[in-house]
Amino acid sequence: MKHILVTGATGQIGSELVPALRERYGCAQVIAAGHKTKPQPGLAESGTYTTLDVTQIESIEAVVKQYQIDTIFHLAALLSAKAEEKPQLAWKVNMTGLYNVLEVSRKNECAVFFPSSIGAFGPDTPRDNTPQDTLQHPNTMYGVCKVSGELLCNYYYTRFGVDTRGVRYPGLISYDTLPGGGTTDYAVEIFYRAIKEKKYNCFLKQGTYLDMMYMPDAVRAAIQLMETDASRLKHRNAFNITAMSFAPEELAASIQKFIPDFFMQYTVDPVRQAIADSWPCHMDDRAAREEWGWEPRYNLESMTQDMIDRLTVKLNSGRL
């Protein structure tokens, strides 16, 4: 990777992936692109930022040619809950955007990272130790787009030789960006409420186990996969990866170790609960471990402590 483009750079993953890539490859080598004309502080100051509509293929190609891009981390997408609210827009952004990126990559010989998700599975998928290769019949537009994206990336690799790679992310937890409409967003919101108000009203019910990952691990996984020698990869699109699996009450208990007077109640959102109930409790990520050495560094306790420490500093500094 010499010249890198990150679409969706202002989103949850992109806002932390861009700084990590710039630290590793140099600020001038990483172009951040998003739909916002004014990105969060630091994203534009540390390197080039450009406004980009991924549904317009000419715009993508212009950026790729201008900056001689050889690798694209394609993160621009509507998340699960937002996608259910606006399924037509979700298909346009998630699928047309990916098709455009792959076409531009085919013409310009770019490698592509595409993040899939636990949302690519459905209610008939085995929920415990979900296999790498298994049934994928999602019942959400977000999931349909992810499965379609996995297949489209595989097609561009086998048919055109585009170096496509991807992972199936679990729920992601980050202190850097606010929740963006995902079903697992409770695991981010809860920290803000715990620090500011000492209470949280959870939209998922007790006992809802879901795979989760702290953002530093998610960022490292994306970079590590793209840096892996291609000869080691058998699956490419997309590897199960995970770090921890917990239910809301277990996360609340972990937070109470650091904020003893925190308490949580429940007002279940039936839409997001139905989505969560169709997703895996825990994915089998042996393929990623064997093919490119994946291994998480954070568990529930270490993630909770780091999240509280960093978010407390952020909130006290007035950055929100």
Q: Which amino acids are annotated catalytic?
A: 142
C-alpha to C-alpha distance for 162 and 166, rounded to whole angstroms: 13
Bridge partners, 202 (sequence order): 266
What is the layout of strands, in order, in the sheet containing 244-246? Answer: 171-173, 210-214, 244-246
DSSP SS3 for 39? coil
The gap from C-alpha 309 to its chain's centroid, in whole angstroms, comes to 22
- CB within 8 Å of 102: residues ≥ 6 apart: 112, 152, 153, 156, 162, 164
C-alpha to C-alpha distance for 160 and 146, rounded to whole angstroms: 20
Bridge partners, 32 (sequence order): 6, 49
